[in-house]
Copies of this chain bind each other. A is one copy, B any other.
C-alpha cells in the first residue's frame, strides 16, 4: 500500500486521559482510535494486525476440529436468570428498550451457546464436539485505563467444548493447552508466556491461564524455575509448589492474562438441562469446557512487551506489512521496486510521501514493520537498497533482485 493513500498519519499527541503504553503507541502510530475509555476503533493498520492474529487463532481452532459460528451480542434476560448471573455478574451491561424489556449485552457466551446446541444433542453419538466464534464482548468496566488490554468492548475468540465424560473432556483440554501455547509462540509471545494454574472457581480445583510477563500486567504470577509453569497469586496460599513438577523455587513476576481455559464441568449444562443418553440409555449431564483468547488484548500485549523507545516492534507473523519501503527522493526507482515486490506477493507499505527523510525514519520506527528497505541516491550508488530489521541496528546494502527473492 502506498502511504500517500493511507488515510491515517502518525500523531504526536495522544488523548490526555490515556495512560496505557499500548494505547499511546498504537494511537500515535495510527493503529487505533480512542472513542471513549475502554472503547477503541481499529484503523486500517490496526485492522490488519487484528486479522493476522485472528487468522492464527482460527487455524489453531480448526486443528482442534472445532466448528466456527457467530453468536449474537444481544442476549435474552431469561438465559442469564437461568444461570443466576443476571444479578451477580457486575460487568453485565443491561439494555432496556422503549417497551421496558431488558436484554443483556454479551460479556461471554455460555448463556447463549448451551441453549443453542441443546436441540442437537440427544444421544452419546452427538458428542463430543466444539464450537467457537470471534465476537465483540461487552463488559461494564467502571474504570478502563489499560488501553486495549482491558476494554468495555473487545474482540474475543471463545470456544466451548461438549463431552460425554471426564476422559473425553480431559483429552480435548490437554490438546487445547498445547494449541494455546502454539498460538502464543506464533504471535511472538512464546518466550514470555507461561501456562499458569489459577482458581477454578467454586466447582473446579484449577483453571489454566496463559500469562505473559509484563510490567504493566494486572496479575502477579510465581514461575517455577524448573519447568516454567506458573501459579497465579490468587491461589499461592493454597498451592505453594509447582502443580506440574513439584518444584518450589519460584520467581515472582507481573503479567498479563492473554488467554484462559476452564473446566466448566456441569456448571452451565445443569441450569439448561443439557443432557444426553449414554449407550445404556441413561440420561447424563453433558460436560463442558471453555477456552478464551482476547484478540485485541494479544495485540496490546505485544505492543507492551516488544516495543522500544522509538516505537512498536511487530513480530513478522502479525505485522500489518512485512516490508516498509522508504523512498528518499527516488520515487521513480522505488515505484519500480514496489511493483516488483507486490508482484512477488510481498506485503509492502511504501512511503512515497514527499516529506523529510528524518520523518520517514521516525515513522518507520514508530509503526514497527519488521523490515525497512530504503531506496536513496546513496543506496543505489552502493549497489542496491538498504535493508534493516526493525529490532536490529545493523543495516546492509543488498541487490534489488536479491531483496525480491
A residues whose Cβ falls under 8 Å from a Cβ of B: 5-9, 11, 33, 35-36, 39-44, 46-47, 50, 65, 67-76, 90, 93-95, 97-99, 103, 105, 112, 116-117, 119-120, 126, 129, 131, 133, 136, 138, 140, 142, 152-153, 155
Contact = CB atoms under 8 A, between A and B. Distances in A.
Contact of A9 (B9, B43, B68, B120): B120
Copies of this chain: 2
Contacts of A5: 65, 67, 129
A142 B73 contact: no
B7 A74 contact: no
Contacts of A11: 119
A72 B40 contact: yes
Contacts of A8: 120
A155 B74 CA distance: 13
A11 B119 CA distance: 9
A335 B383 CA distance: 57
Nearest to A103: B36
Contacts of A153: 72-74
A97 B140 contact: yes
B126 A7 contact: yes
B105 A36 contact: no
Given A7-B129, A117-B7, A120-B9, A41 B140 contact: no
A68 B44 contact: yes
A117 to B, nearest CB: 6
